[in-house]
Amino acid sequence: MAKSGVLGYPRIGAQREWKKAIEAYWAGKLEEKELDRQLQDIRLGHLQKLKNKGIDFIPVGDFSMYDHVLDTAAMFGIVPKRFAAYNGGAVPKSVYFGIARGTKEAAASEMTKWFNTNYHYIVPELDGVMPELTENKPLLAYREAKQKLGIEGRPVLLGPLTFLKLSKGYAEQGIDAWLDRLLPLYVRVLQELEREGVPWLQIDEPILVTKLDTGDVRRLRTIYETFHSSAPRLKLMLQTYFESVEAYRDVIALPVHGIGLDLVHGLEDNLSAIRTIGFPADKALGAGVINGRGIWKETLHIKKALLDELSTLVPPEQLIVQTSCSLLHVPISVQGETNLAPELRDALAFADEKLDELVLLARSVTGGGNGTDEDIQAYDSSALALSRSEARNRHAIRQAAAALAVQDPQRNRPYAERSVIQQAKWRLPSFPTTSIGSFPQTPEIRKARQLWRKGEWTGEQYSGFIRQQIEHWVRIQEEIGLDVFVHGEFERTDMVEFFGEKLAGFAFTQNGWVQSYGSRCVKPPIIYGDVAFQGAMTVGETQYAQSLTKHPVKGMLTGPITIMNWSFVREDIPREQIAYQLAYALRQEVEALEEAGIGMIQVDEPAVREGLPLKEAKQADYLAWAVRAFRLTTSSVKDETQIHTHMCYCDFHDMMDSIDAMDADVISIETSRSHGELIGSFEAKSNTYRKGIGLGVYDIHSPRVPTVEEMTDVIDRALRVLNPNLFWINPDCGLKTRGFEETVASLRNMVKAARVARDTYSLKL
């Protein structure tokens, strides 16, 4: 029988105990020792579950207080110099969380997407830092599991090539110098693990599925030859995920004991390489056949057929049945999801259910009987009802979306002409100020929503409460002096969930939480059927806010690509078709807002970049239909209606042509958290964006209130390469997670910075 393995398990706890403990610590309600105790209880509980399920290779060291990339940086003492309280040695929690969240004295490090997932990592900053091994985190995790639970775990370590490629603060030609600094520290980690008697170490190198140059291949060889010669008795599982590996011949020639391949998202190319080139007989194959990022039950007879083929190419004793990636990206368990329709619930598999799939598949590989064929047949039959359901067979919706998809959606006039019409209508000042959409969701707002959902408040009571909040914040925006208002989104729990609840084809879990960044957990909707518009979703609140002020109030929608990328989506039709169905539904909402007199409409697409395929050959096609979906949503409006969009926390410099092709009148893009690097890309290319653009002038994910001078510096730098006549001033993102006082203080400073800019650049406009 083949062995089973898991690459990582969700950190958050079945009831988000992890989140609650960390946030209580941040709030000063939990002592550090009690935080450590609670986190250990959660961590050990997860490991015990994996042991009880019968998983052979149990990951240890994948658990984190915030982010595993930040953990790796902390392990090597890589702390930005602005955190002056750090003087070497183990990184204290105050500094660790400061890097992630910022402090009053120092800005947080950049946060960006982990490859093409919905998870965010903290970007290590190497500039001016001399690394040192502060503590051997994989060794501590291994000892804990063995001493507390008797588990011989497989420690997880982020590989040096991936770590360096995801870091910043060094010139491109400086990567070899940094590898020379880090490699001896990694070697110490491995040697200590070897002396401890650790049998296997999982080294994650997901960077190997991206484009590699000859220098990367040389570095890879240097790294793993050094590891092998320095710790020859420690078995290394070189783990890749999210796509097929590049340089397959070079990878399988490395002196490691096992190689993990994604046979879900990288199935076609990885399997082709195994078939045509072969796989070394002296290495274990980590066959990632269980989707670590999806929530649907696997069709196990298809997976078994794949494993049976692999068993003819790789000795069965060298085959490890694994998840395609860490289970960090899925909820913990389907158990307790009692509100879902039976045909949908029976088609789902979250993290715990995937463990059962792994064990069943591993038991079936060698054809040892034990009823596995019958078990697999029974398992597969349970998910068939969903495919026959009415929700997946709305033919009118499919036909309408397909008809739109073949059109070339365009605004009536090009931007240069309609911008003149819009300025004549709105008469905004230079450097207009606005916010991105949401304002703080206070405990009172959350309590009101809970009372309404429980039926203790009527819909009329809840609607009245929301209107009070809207009026309150309209008055605050007037007092602060913003130019373009938002209604605040107080009625919305989440920017995707809100729309999903009002569209057909969506379902929602009771406890399907996943980690997005830090302690921020989201509960993605499930797009399980054909998507259909069922009536106006945002008109009432937006129209009410507009009735309270003469300032323009933006209608706020989440775009089709973001709704899709931030949901768990069906897998029986292409994602492109799902995007067009969403665009067709949202187009009807855009038209309803315009009909109601709303002349500025923001369609947010923060997740366009994160859906970009990792392989260059697949990117152009994705961007083409993503842009088409946005334009299908927005192109039917009048010339004077101003379309806004917003994007954040991704590297956008290589897709500005696609952003331009979306043809929004105004785009706001995060730049402060990444310390102005998008501005740098404009400077390097000596080009400018020729539509309205706002580069976020302060980071809303940090509790600190930025100074006027800090924001003025961002504005001044941006205006070296961007047209002042087209420049907007706004925060990086929505303000839902921030407190009242810091939000008002930050916006006041932002408006002051805008006034400074107007005075400074008045002669140039």
Least confident piece of the model among 26-30, 221-225, 491-495, 725-729: 491-495
Q: What confidence tens digit (pLDDT) does each residue in 570-618 have? A: 999 999 999 999 999 999 999 999 999 999 999 999 888 888 999 999 9
- How many percent of the chain have pLDDT more than 70? 96
Query: Which is higher by pLDDT, 718 or 429?
Result: 429
Residue tagged active-site, from 46, 329, 644, 701? 701
Residue stretches of the annotated binding site: 16-19, 113, 436-438, 489, 520-521, 566, 604, 610, 646, 648, 670, 733
Structure tokens at 139: 């060794």
Amino acid letter, residue 91: V
More confident residue, 677 or 122: 122
- Looking at residue 684, its pLDDT comes to 56
CB 80 within 8 A of CB 109: yes
CA distance 54 to 119: 28
Q: According to the model, what pLDDT value does residue 648 have?
A: 73
If you average pLDDT over residues 667-689, what whole number do you get? 63
Task: State the average pLDDT for the chain.
Answer: 93
Mean pLDDT in residue range 308-329: 94
If you average pLDDT over residues 511-521, what whole number do you get? Answer: 95
Q: How far does CA 209 lie from the centroid of its chain?
A: 18
Bind-site residues for 5-methyltetrahydropteroyltri-L-glutamate: 16-19, 113, 520-521, 566, 610
- Point out the annotated binding site for L-homocysteine: 436-438, 489, 604
pLDDT at 229 over 80: yes
The average pLDDT across 110-118 equals 91
Is a pLDDT exceeding 80 seen at residue 232? Answer: yes
Instruction: Flag the least confident range among 58-72, 161-175, 578-592, 694-708.
Output: 694-708
- Name the least confident of 425-439, 540-554, 658-672: 658-672
- For the cut 70, the answer to whether the pLDDT of residue 686 exceeds it is no
| pLDDT, tens only, 46-62 | 999 999 999 999 999 99
CA 341 to chain centre: 28
Can you tell me whether residue 186 is helix, strand or coil? helix
Q: Indicate if 701 belongs to the active site.
A: yes
- Check residue 651 and give its pLDDT: 59
State mean pLDDT over 397-420. 90
Predicted pLDDT at 14 = 92
The dotted CATH code for 3-387 is 3.20.20.210
- What pLDDT shows up at residue 679? 62
> What's the pLDDT at 560?
97
pLDDT band at 372 (very low <50, low <70, confident <90, very high): confident
**Mean pLDDT throughout 413-435?**
96
Measured distance CA(198)–CA(105) in Å, rounded: 42
> Are the beta carbons of 545 and 553 closer than 8 angstroms?
yes
Type of residue numbered 142:
Y
Can you give the residue ranges of every domain in the chain? 3-387, 414-764
H-run or E-run covering 694 = strand 692-695
CB 9 within 8 A of CB 327: yes
Annotated binding-site residues for L-methionine read 436-438, 489, 604
Q: Tell me 604's DSSP state.
A: E
Question: Which tens digits make up the pLDDT trace of 527-578?
Answer: 999 999 999 999 999 999 999 999 999 999 999 999 999 999 999 999 999 9
Pick the CATH number of 414-764 from 1.10.490.10, 3.40.50.300, 3.20.20.210, 3.40.350.10: 3.20.20.210
Express as a percent the part of the chain with pLDDT over 90: 82
| Identity of the amino acid at 719 | L
pLDDT value at residue 402: 83
What does the pLDDT average to over 12-17?
95
Q: What is the pLDDT of residue 123?
A: 97
Residue 367 above 70 pLDDT? no
